[in-house]
Amino acid sequence: MDPLYIEVWCRSAYAAEVIELQTDGSYTLAPHMDKLLLDNDFPGYIGGLPAVLLAPEMFGTFDENLESGERLWWDKCSPEFIESVQNTGRAFYNRLIPNGIAKIDGLEDKLSQGARVLELATGAGFGLAKMASQYPKCTFVGVDGDAFSVGLANDQAREAGVSDRVSLIESMLEEIDYDSEFDACVINISMHECRDIEKVTANVHRALKPDGVFVISDFPFPESTEGTRTVPARIMCGIQFFEALIDDQLLPTKAYVDLLGRHGFSNVEAFDVTPVHAVTFGVK
């Protein structure tokens, strides 16, 4: 393992008082921190974050791109970076499925009985495979604009044994064109990256059947400068550097609530899952 990776974790964990510095200069994890840092199936897993923060895509070209105006996009990111981002996103899916879904009135029953589900920004496919495994009566369509990610998602579905109920489409989210085909649409930690968030939301509204549910799982960026002073908000501020490189930004939950309202969704609600994870949903 990269020594710098280990050093970043040790220093950040020590600052958060989750490890103990020993007299010989080594570190010892506090009880149960092994799950938080090492178990990528644990809903609170944060062990993948250093690999993302240390990647060249994160800060390596920030000053150069800030001056030139050059913008990065996922198809220009390395496979290693995409896989690292996928690893950090696992915890969001593990919190959302099934516990977060269960908090959305009627959605758990809809999925348990069998539904057609659209997932946007599928990425490497972990969430799509998890949903397909959790809800075996459902069929799924996953959409992502990056060819490498679509390939990973196909592999993930095959390994999970759900390929017969999963279809993958390579497309920008602004270009999807479905009409009343889906009972639910889910997007996880990617709504803030849409090139045209208004168009994507309009596309989703058109793609859903009447009473279809749109679920946005994302970072709840603070609404005020004062709100950025908390430790979770500082983490999101760091992520905001990368978002600037790809010409977008993390948004407050209220922005998603207002967005769904503007596009005709009813019963729009939101709830926090953790200090860095919020869910917004509405019904067509």
Report pLDDT for 27: 67
Lowest mean pLDDT among 117-126, 166-175, 229-238: 229-238
List Cα–Cα distances, 54 to 70, 77, 82, 232, in angstroms.
20, 14, 13, 19
Q: Is 148 in a helix, a strand, or coil? A: helix
Residue 142 confidence (pLDDT) above 70 = yes
pLDDT on residue 15: 42
Query: Is 105 a residue whose pLDDT tops 70?
Result: yes
Specify the pLDDT at position 20: 62
Residue 74: the pLDDT is: 72
Say whether both 34 and 57 belong to one domain: no
Residue 52, pLDDT score: 77
Closest CA to 126 of 191, 45, 41, 185: 41
Same domain, 132 and 246: yes
* Domain identity same for 34 and 144: no
CB-based contacts of 263-268 (< 8 A; 24+ apart in sequence): 263/198, 263/201, 263/202, 263/205, 264/205, 265/205, 265/214, 267/105
Does 42 have pLDDT greater than 80?
Answer: no
Overall average pLDDT of the 98-103 stretch:
94
| Contacts for 166 with CB less than 8 Å, ≥ 6 apart | 128, 129, 132, 139, 140, 141, 142, 157
For residue 120, report the phi and psi dihedrals to the nearest 5 degrees.
-95, 145
pLDDT, position 6: 44
Mark whether 152 and 48 lie in a shared domain: yes
pLDDT in tens, 165-204: 999 999 999 999 999 999 999 999 999 988 899 999 999 9
Do 132 and 221 share a domain, yes or no? Answer: yes
Residues 12 and 111 in one domain: no
Higher pLDDT residue, 154 or 10?
154
pLDDT at 103 over 70: yes
User: What is the predicted pLDDT for the residue at 11?
Assistant: 47
Domain range for 29: 1-38
User: Which residue, chain included where needed, has tokens 């959409």?
Assistant: 143
Residues 60 and 30 in one domain: no
Q: Do residue 32 and residue 63 come from a single domain?
A: no
The answer to whether residue 258 scores a pLDDT higher than 70 is yes
Least confident window among 110-119, 134-143, 248-257: 248-257
Q: Kindly tell me if the per-residue pLDDT of 61 is higher than 70.
A: yes
- Both 18 and 110 in a single domain? no
Q: What is the pLDDT of residues 3-34, one digit of tens each?
A: 444 444 444 544 445 556 567 777 677 666 77
Predicted pLDDT at 110: 95
Q: What is the pTM of this model?
A: 0.84
Structure confidence at residue 8 (pLDDT): 46
User: Is 159's pLDDT higher than 90?
Assistant: yes
Q: What are phi and psi of 44, to 5 degrees?
A: -100, 10
Residue 118 sits in the same domain as residue 207: yes
CATH of the domain at 253: 3.40.50.150
Distance, in Å, from the CA atom of 181 to the CA atom of 208, rounded to the nearest integer, reads: 6
* 1 and 111 both lie in a single domain: no
- Judgement on whether residues 190 and 75 belong to the same structural domain of the protein: yes
pLDDT of residue 9: 46
Strands of the chain (E only): list them.
19-21, 27-29, 116-120, 139-144, 166-170, 182-188, 208-218, 266-274, 277-283
The count of structural domains within the chain is: 2
| 227 in Cβ contact with 233 (< 8 Å) | yes
CB 37 within 8 A of CB 46: yes
